[in-house]
Chain A
């Protein structure tokens, strides 16, 4: 259930380290119950932005509103955080670690629910240093959920995980979303953003350079699809109604209506054998917006 009032609103947020403007006047709003993605390359300012919002660092200027009001001391009780890099006190089991963090909050969630939501059963009594990458991320997600937060921050939670562990983690996040919680996610992975996020912003050099829903942004920048026709199959003098450009032996047509464009090709006498219909993704969008790939 997505409500109209933003659960979080950021206005003209700025944070500098010396002469480096890590976050340079960003503004956005997050709908309650949604998954909000912050995308960008290393050094774009994603982590600084969310750590300022999390009140880990003080902003230089700007406003952060939680449910329409300036963040107060109790804000930390309403949010859950999974940092990009974090260490825990050693020589504790997963259960003891969760219990430690549970005791830091006034209204912790029952331990059994956290264990079930994050699939921690198989290693709940294992030393927290002896976990695989995927298990460790699930434990850290569990820690972020101990206070039953309304708003969950996940900073590159699947970096370094194998594809199977990433998919498992996405499934957990989908389950958390289904409980009505709001998730703010930074990620390098465009497939992750496309799978999980309802809204995204793309950051570069501390600025927001694009924002919107992933599907709408792709339509805006690339149309519905790109149809690639071998140059040899295109009759001489043929003209098309959608933008066309030659690349690597193909004519690429960026079309808003795939069906209409294919009919247009048939009418022009194009041999459809060898024709490719491709959907552009957020990686392509980022390349287009910044002129560089995500690293």
Chain B
């Protein structure tokens, strides 16, 4: 018991005297709590999702659609009809209302669309003269399962953690326990060492991602509307980008506890704000802007576009460009900052 207590006290002293670790352990949960509070201000889920195009009539005006002010309806504005109609066809939203043309769209195979239409029709029928009466249009299409939509996110999370911990965390551990110092005593250059780490981890993460995907695909038969080659390219760029982030934060840190704190700081916001678990449509504008800072956002966007919508190179070129640019920036930063000790 005496030995236990001595070790317990010593460990606590070590933790509280390590200011960096202490700050990360305190600040990160606070940021997380505020992040959730900001992202989900209403505190509840949304039952129906309605896409809108054009300017909505003034509240209380003759053309106003009263039920759109009900609770638990999420209105997602779009600039044009093409995107929301595609999403309606895949059951990712439940109805589209085009204010400018006075039309509404439903998918006849959608149960939520049927319910929304029943709520819309009474308001439509008893309108005063001059008010907009919405005309019905329909689209067809089978629903996309949540798992089809979610699988790029799962692979993205695997890439995120596999790359950051496999490169960043390991290099920090090597630095702390003297492995890097031992290598420094040899003719091995820092560039050679880091390159070997990057390549090794690239292979491992790519292999594991492929095993996860193909293994689950055997049972779940994911929707794959696009090119396998293009999907592989997106994955390869995403892995390189995440590894390069790992290299940046591992370039100088000596403490594994600080590294763990930084990893949490990087990974949790990425998981929450990059659309891994839920669509960012309809979320607060600031959250959508913040999501553009994370490489995993571009990875998920491009992967979903390829797998669900059959997007080609031209459609995902922007995402690929951002991933490539981020990779180069992070690699350059890591090369400039890296120290053996």
Q: Which residues of A pack against B, CB within 8 Å?
A: 54, 56, 73, 76-77, 81, 83, 85-89, 101, 104-106, 143
Chain A interface secondary structure, helix, strand, loop or mixed?
A: loop
B-side contacts of A54, CB under 8 Å? 185
Cross-interface CB contact of B185 among A83, A85, A88, cutoff 8 Å:
A83
* CA distance in complex: A87, B175 (Å): 10
Kindly provide the distance from the CB of B108 to the nearest chain A CB, expressed in whole angstroms. Answer: 59
19 inter-chain pairs at a CB distance below 8 angstroms, sorted by A residue, are A56-B184, A76-B185, A76-B186, A81-B185, A83-B178, A83-B181, A85-B178, A86-B179, A86-B181, A86-B182, A87-B178, A87-B179, A88-B182, A89-B174, A101-B186, A104-B183, A104-B188, A105-B187, A143-B182
Task: Choose one: B174, B177, B179, B181; the contact of A56 (CB below 8 Å).
Answer: B181
What CA separation (Å) do A81 and B187 show in the bound complex? 12
- Top 3 closest A-B pairs, CB basis? A87-B177, A104-B186, A81-B185
- Interchain nearest-CB distance for A102 vs B (Å): 10
| Chain A min CB distance to B193 (Å) | 10
- Cα separation A219 to B186 with both chains bound (whole Å): 41
A287 to B188, CA, bound (A): 42
Inter-chain contacts of B179 with A (CB < 8 A):
86-89
List 14 additional contacts besides A81-B185, A86-B178; criterion CB under 8 Å.
A56-B184, A73-B187, A76-B185, A76-B186, A77-B187, A83-B178, A83-B185, A86-B182, A87-B178, A88-B182, A104-B186, A105-B186, A105-B187, A143-B182
Query: Shortest CB–CB separation between residue A17 and chain B, in angstroms?
Result: 13
Nearest-CB residue, chain B, relative to A101:
B186
Name the CB-closest residue of B to A57.
Answer: B341
Q: Could you say which residues of chain B place their CB within 8 Å of the CB of A104?
A: 183, 186-188
Q: Which residues of chain A are within 8 angstroms of B181 by Cβ–Cβ distance?
A: 56, 83, 86
Is there contact, CB below 8 Å, between B185 and A56? yes
Contacts of A88 in B (CB 8 A): 179, 182
Q: For B180, give the chain A residue with the smallest CB separation.
A: A87
Main secondary structure of the interface of B (DSSP, over half): helix
Residues of B near A73 (CB, < 8 A) are 187
Measured CB to CB, the closest approach of chain A to B178, in angstroms, equals: 5
What residues of chain B lie closer than 8 Å to A56, measured between beta carbons?
Answer: 181, 184-185
**Chain B residue with the shortest CB-CB distance to A85:** B178
Contact A106 B178, beta carbon cutoff 8 Å: no
Chain B residues with CB under 8 Å of A77's CB are 187
Which residues of A sit under 8 angstroms from B183, Cβ to Cβ? 104
Interface digits, B158-201 against A, CB 8 Å rule (1 contact, 0 not)?
Answer: 00000000000000001001110111111110000000000000
**Minimal beta-carbon separation of B59 from chain A (angstroms):** 66
Q: How far is the CA of A143 from the CA of B181 in the complex (A)?
A: 14
Complex formed: what's the CA distance from A86 to B182 in Å? 7
Taking CB atoms, residues of chain B closer than 8 Å to A87 are: 174, 177-179, 182
Distance in angstroms from A32 CB to nearest chain B CB is 21
Among the listed A83, A89, A106, which residue makes an inter-chain contact with B187, where contact means beta carbons less than 8 Å apart?
Answer: A106
Q: What residues of B have a CB within 8 angstroms of the CB of A85 in the complex? A: 178
Asked whether, in the complex, the Cβ of A76 is within 8 Å of the Cβ of B177, the reply is no
In the complex, the answer to whether A83 meets B188 with C-beta atoms within 8 Å is no
- Docked Cα-Cα span, A143 to B188, in Å, equals 14
Chain B residues in 8 Å Cβ range of A106:
187
- Most-contacted residue by chain A among B181, B182, B184, B188 (CB, 10 A): B182
Q: Give min CB distance, A104 to chain B, whole Å.
A: 4
Whole-angstrom CA separation of A89 from B183 in the bound complex: 10
How many Å lie between the Cα of A87 and that of B178 in the bound state? 5
Report chain A residues within 8 Å CB of B187.
73, 76-77, 104-106
Shortest B189–chain A CB gap in Å is: 10
- Mark each residue of chain B from 103 to 132: 1 if its CB lies under 8 Å from any CB of chain A, else 0: 000000000000000000000000000000
* Bound complex: CA A105 to CA B188 (Å): 8
Contacts of A83 in B (CB 8 A): 178, 181-182, 185
- Complex Cα distance, B178 from A76, in Å, reads 18
Q: Which among B178, B187, B188 has the highest number of chain A CB atoms within 10 Å?
A: B187
The interface residues of chain A lying within 8 Å CB-to-CB of B177 are 87
How far is the CB of A86 from the nearest CB of chain B, in Å? Answer: 5
Residues from chain B with a CB closer than 8 A to the CB of A89 are 174, 179
The complex places the Cα of A54 from the Cα of B181 at a distance, in Å, of: 11
A54 to B186, CA, bound (A): 10
In the assembly, what is the distance between CA of A247 and CA of B179, in Å? 51
Q: Which residue of A lies closest to B170 (CB)?
A: A89
Q: Which residues of B contact A86 (CB under 8 A)?
A: 178-179, 181-182
Q: How far is the CA of A181 from the CA of B87 in the complex (A)?
A: 75
Taking the closest CB of chain A, its distance from the CB of B234, in whole angstroms, is: 32
Interface residues of B in 177-232 (CB under 8 A from A): 177-179, 181-188
In the bound complex, what is the Cα–Cα distance between A77 and B186 (angstroms)?
7
B193's nearest neighbour on chain A, judged by CB, is A104
Q: Which residues in A have their C-beta under 8 angstroms from that of B174?
A: 87, 89
| Minimum distance in angstroms from B180 CB to a CB of chain A | 10
A54-B185 Cα distance, complex, nearest whole Å: 7
A106 vs B186: C-alpha distance in the bound complex, in angstroms?
Answer: 11
Query: Complex Cα distance A106/B188, Å?
Result: 11
Q: From A104, which residue of chain B is reached at the shortest CB distance?
A: B186
